[in-house]
């Protein structure tokens, strides 16, 4: 099989010659404006620029899971400002940042799951908190909404141990 670009006037003559030689000829079109603009020139959104569930870590090893309908980066800015002004009770991570002698890694925040729907975001947050058992080992103050942790904690623990990894698949 021979692949050739389509060239008006020349392509059909080449096709006949290749057919005589026993080769199948296929023509492909050249790039048009649409393929040029959409192929590799897609712009990517900056990191943490969508709503969803996110994770903040401290250099002491403590983790915090949160959710937001805002851009994750905007929510992190709110946490950070409240920690700087010493606003206790704003969130678990701000209280941790105020009390901890080490540094919260505000720049290293990771979006775990992008989700704009409220209920789905809340459930995912609760599952992530329970998966990491972050009420006991992290700076989350509650297990999340809509899921009873007494039911889910044993299931998540057995799933994580049996699969050998620490990822939730949804």
Give me the number of domains the chain comprises: 2
Q: Is residue 44 part of a domain?
A: no
For position 53, what pLDDT does the model report? 96
Decide: 112 and 121 in contact? Cβ < 8 Å: no
For position 113, what pLDDT does the model report? 93
pLDDT in tens, the chain (170 residues): 888 888 888 888 888 888 898 889 888 877 777 777 776 666 778 889 999 999 999 999 999 999 999 999 999 999 999 999 999 989 999 999 999 999 999 999 999 999 999 999 998 998 888 888 777 777 877 777 766 666 666 676 666 555 555 555 54
72 and 137 share a domain?
Answer: yes
109 and 25 share a domain?
Answer: no
71 and 113 share a domain?
Answer: yes
18 and 84 share a domain?
Answer: no
Q: Is residue 168 part of a domain?
A: no
Q: Which 8-state DSSP code applies to residue 104? A: B
Alpha helices in the chain (DSSP H): 11-20, 33-38, 72-85, 92-99, 118-132, 134-137, 149-163
59 and 22 share a domain?
Answer: no
Report yes or no on whether pTM surpasses 0.85.
no
* Domain that residue 129 falls in: 52-162
75 and 122 share a domain?
Answer: yes
């Amino acid at each position: 099989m021979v692949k050739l670009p389509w060239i008006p006037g020349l392509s059909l003559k080449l096709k006949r010659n290749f057919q005589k030689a026993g080769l199948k000829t296929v023509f492909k079109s050249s790039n048009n404006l649409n393929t040029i603009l959409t192929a590799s020139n897609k712009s990517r959104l900056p990191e943490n620029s969508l709503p969803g569930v996110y994770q903040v870590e401290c250099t002491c090893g403590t983790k915090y899971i949160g959710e937001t309908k805002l851009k994750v980066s905007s929510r992190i800015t709110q946490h950070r400002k409240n920690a700087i002004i010493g606003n206790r009770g704003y969130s678990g991570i701000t209280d941790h940042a105020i009390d901890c002698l080490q540094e919260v890694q505000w720049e290293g925040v990771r979006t775990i799951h992008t989700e704009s729907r409220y209920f789905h975001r809340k459930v995912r947050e609760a599952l992530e908190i329970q998966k990491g058992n972050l009420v006991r080992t992290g700076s989350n103050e509650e297990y999340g909404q809509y899921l009873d942790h007494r039911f889910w904690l044993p299931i998540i623990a057995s799933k994580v141990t049996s699969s050998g990894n620490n990822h939730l698949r949804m």
